[in-house]
Structure 1
């Protein structure tokens, strides 16, 4: 039970990778406060995690708003008394070229992916400093390190920003024993990948040296490690999880 007695806030937790992270955390002994925009889906996740006792509560809301971040912090402290871990998983994608991306689309993507991550970090840092410890894990992407032909530049920029924010906060907060890292997944089997054509799936697999697409559970395993005491000498890292499609 690597997360026994730990309390975590997880954004974007209603499905896919976020749900897998929530399930992994609870299985390792943590209590979780979950965020997403769909209250029905959030309640479904909480119900599945609260079989024997209350291990999960939720706050529905837009992760790009300061009020949502404040509500999550308040919920964690009121229900579980502390905040040990933050996982910034909320995010959206956009598959448009530069000339086809509108200003509103650009701003919305940056707001959710990058500003939302910043706001959540900003909201939990005072409590983590007070207790002199904490783990922050940001969800980035391989696209934040190298361009991808099927992603909007706004998406890559937002993830590159998360990578820098991760390193900056790791340096700024190290004196308070707060670890900040990021995970950079490549192709993962999610609701989005289920919409791929057979031809596109084959092209994706051809580019992956391991010849397989990752799973939400594999990403959750990496996040669980970074949230646990087992990663106590790791901070400021952006860890690739892409089957070898991008290495650095």
Structure 2
């Protein structure tokens, strides 16, 4: 896969899946702009992935605020000349029973997952049109396809289901503009997100217990998702749009 002269924007690009995806795009010749809330982490990631600074830029801010999405796309145009690929990878996750959710919880999930995707796509699509097309890949979730009793996640699942629905609607609306829109729906992927509600020791103990949840016998790694995102962004996937691809080591095949 060759992304020479392509410009990629990754919302949620400072760690985990987003960071792994940024690395692979840079490896394949792309220019990348990453977004996240923590500027220090963005700087560390940018320096790690491209010490020269020639192939990566960043914008810190809350992607659920429309002005942040606009600034993110403006940064890509200003520094690298346009936008060819948008990856919407923002997310938060904390297993919570339905009756235990507070109003703030629901708002946070909708803001981070759904609004961030909506606004960044709204800002990126006009720039993609100027370049004759492009690709949007959203990081969805298996939890929006199949409920998992061990990890109650109604607010998260509802927001991710909205991201899935947005994927399909954008795919149909902008197919005429040669803009393809797809999503991946991972199961358990070993990323820093679990540290937001567990200690390091709890993560080290808990995550291995999910290996057998996947028929393929292991949890996913950020690189597994990154490779699929690159495929969906590439010309090899030129006839694929409107797809929410389970990326789950066979978990949904078993659950269904």
TM-score normalised according to structure 1 size? 0.95
Matched, 1:209 2:215: yes
Give the superposition deviation at 1:5. 0.8
Runs of 4+, deviation exceeding 6 Å: none
Match of 1:246, SS state, is helix
State how far apart, in whole Å, the 1-side matches of 2:50 and 2:130 are.
Answer: 29
Q: Distance in 2 between matches of 1:224 and 1:207?
A: 26
Structure 2 unmatched runs, 5+: none
C-alpha separation in 1, matches of 2:53 and 2:114: 34
Question: Is structure 2 residue 227 aligned with structure 1 residue 221?
Answer: yes
Would the aligned equivalents of 1:93 and 1:151 in 2 still touch at CA under 8 Å?
no
- Report how many aligned residue pairs link the two structures: 247
Q: CA RMSD in A?
A: 1.5
**Alignment deviations for residues 143-178 of structure 1 (CA, whole Å, 9 cap, x no partner):** 011112314201000111111110110000000000
TM-score, length basis structure 2 = 0.92
In structure 2, the partner of 1:86 is: 86
2:58 corresponds to? 58
SS at match of 2:98: coil
Partner of 2:45: 45
In the alignment, is the contact (CA less than 8 A) between 1:101 and 1:152 conserved in 2?
no
* Distance of 1:38 and 1:19 partners within structure 2: 14
Paired residue secondary structure (2:59): strand
CA distance in structure 2 between the aligned counterparts of 1:197 and 1:189, rounded to whole angstroms: 10
Aligned pairs (5 A) from 1:1-248: 1-52=1-52, 54-149=54-149, 150-191=151-192, 192=194, 195-196=202-203, 198=205, 200-201=206-207, 203-247=209-253
> Separation in 2 of the partners of 1:40 and 1:203?
33
- Residue pair 1:2, 1:229 contacting (<8 A) in 2 also: no
Unaligned runs of 5+ in 1: none
